[in-house]
Amino acid sequence: MLLKFLIPGLLLPGIAFAEPNACDLMPKADVERVTGLTFDDPHLRSEDACAGKCESLNGTACIYQTASEPKARVQIEVLFPPFQPGDWTQIDRLNAAVDKNATVTDLPEFGVPTDWVYSYNYGFLHYVDNHRLIMHVWEQNIGDNATALGKAKEMAHLILERLDAQ
């Protein structure tokens, strides 16, 4: 992202500022509104370390969890360039093939490679725009496949709207 205006009307291209973090892009109130659940305060984590091949080390994760059992969890990750090369949605399919209960659904309405992987009580929306953003919306104990997918898509669209507004 570029800082576009220091003084209203004065364009200053090339001056960068920090990318927004995941908790700013999907605040607790919105996660609670979308899911209908009450979450503890979020935990913000930097995505600057990796145990294996990662898409990017430039981003953050925001983790929400309920206090009540069974614990529901929503984790939002936003990653910015530079990105590692790779077909990340193909990797989703390979990983899902190991889990015989997993389903993978393509989500063409996002306009870039995006998929949804769901198994039992766990879902993962993976949005890949290699020029701008990689986003993950993880959900656990949020609902059945269709319910969790609807909530993940709503959160992903809110994040994209907020990024576009900046």
Contacts of 112 (CB under 8 A, 6+ apart): 127, 128, 129
pTM of the model: 0.82
Integer-rounded Cα Rg, in Å, for the chain is 17
Read off the pLDDT of residues 102-129 as tens digits, 9 standing for 90 and up: 999 999 999 999 999 999 889 999 998 8
The ranges assigned to domains in the chain are: 22-165
Tokens of 103: 């389903």
Read off the pLDDT of residues 130-155 as tens digits, 9 standing for 90 and up: 788 889 999 999 999 999 999 999 99
Cα separation, 6 vs 9, in Å, equals: 8
User: What integer pLDDT is reported at residue 8 of this predicted model?
Assistant: 31
- The correct answer on CATH 1.10.1060 for the domain covering 22-165 is no
